[in-house]
Amino acid sequence: MTNAIHRRFEAGRDAVRWSPDRYDRYRVPTPQSIVETALRITRERPRLVVDVGAGTGLSTRCWAPVADDVIGIEPSDAMRAEAVKRTSLPNVHFQQGLGHSTGLADACVDIVSCSSALHWMNPEFFPAEVLRILRVGGVLCAFWHRYPHAIDAWVVSRAYQAFQSEVNRFTVSHSSALRSWAWPEATKTFRANAGFRYVEELAFHVEKSWTFETFIGWVNTIGALNAPLDVDSAADPRPALLAELMRTVEPYFAGNPLIFHLTYPTLIAVR
């Protein structure tokens, strides 16, 4: 691939028209178990944690109590401005950058965090940048969560999966801005890199109590639903698909919250 195409992986994320306020309000915070696992690997208090693809800082602020300093790397000016607005912690800062071009010094980072953003990273240059900025013994902790499952109302889960599949199919085929790195390919790339002494995929599990409003708020933050398309808005089926999803699932909430189960595949890579 050319460098221009490489740049489009993270430029595609920057092009997604997220609402920063909605994103911060409805996205799921980083599970504490993932933070604790990264700390067990480093075996000492981190001097610096870097969160790449920081968004509004939701996945950045969680590191503040356990690290001396935390830096969120985010290419989107709007998302970064929201992160700064929402963050008053003295040891947390945000700066413009890309996963493969952080602007940080060599061997200065103890933990690189990447929350629901690995698929936006540059597949050729991101592992090299992680190796460059990590100290020996430092760890990359990249994670995301699979479809949320409402076991007590499985129709909601099935309806969401069908919605997500259709939205992804249409967006990928009609958006030149959207490019992503498949999780299995990313895992394989890190395993093949001799610079990492230990690479493993773990899984964590959390439960969330979501009302209908919270669930639909979260749905509205997914990248494929907000990506710009190469077709007229009149030909965009995503609003109608969302409306149909809302009509289908709302009765199952019946004005009450449902318990959603979220599984987090987590890539651990130790330098």
DSSP 8-state class, residue 243? H
Neighbours of 212 (CB within 10 A): 19
Closest listed residue to residue 130, CA positions, set 38, 61, 52: 52
pLDDT tens, 208-256? 999 999 999 999 999 889 888 888 888 999 999 999 999 999 999 999 9
- For the segment 24-82, what is each residue's pLDDT rounded down to a tens digit? 999 999 999 999 999 999 999 999 999 999 999 999 999 999 999 999 999 999 999 99
Mean pLDDT calculated for residue range 115-132: 92
What is the per-residue DSSP string for 65-102? GG-SEEEEE---HHHHHHHHHH---TTEEEE--BTTB-
Say if residue 202's pLDDT is above 50. Answer: yes
Ordered by start, the domain boundaries in the chain are 3-270
Which tens digit of pLDDT belongs to each residue from 80-121? Answer: 999 999 999 999 999 999 999 999 999 999 999 999 999 889
CB count in 10 Å sphere of residue 234: 5
β-bridge pairing 134-143 and 258-270 = antiparallel
Among 6-10, 75-79, 92-96, 150-154, name the one with the lowest average pLDDT. 6-10
Q: What is the CATH number of domain 3-270?
A: 3.40.50.150
| pLDDT above 70 for 185 | yes
**Alpha-carbon distances of 123 from 129, 134, 140, rounded to whole Å:** 11, 18, 15
pTM exceeds 0.85, yes or no: yes
Whole-number Cα distances in Å, 160 to 36, 45, 211, 249? 31, 40, 15, 9
The answer to whether residue 2 scores a pLDDT higher than 60 is: no
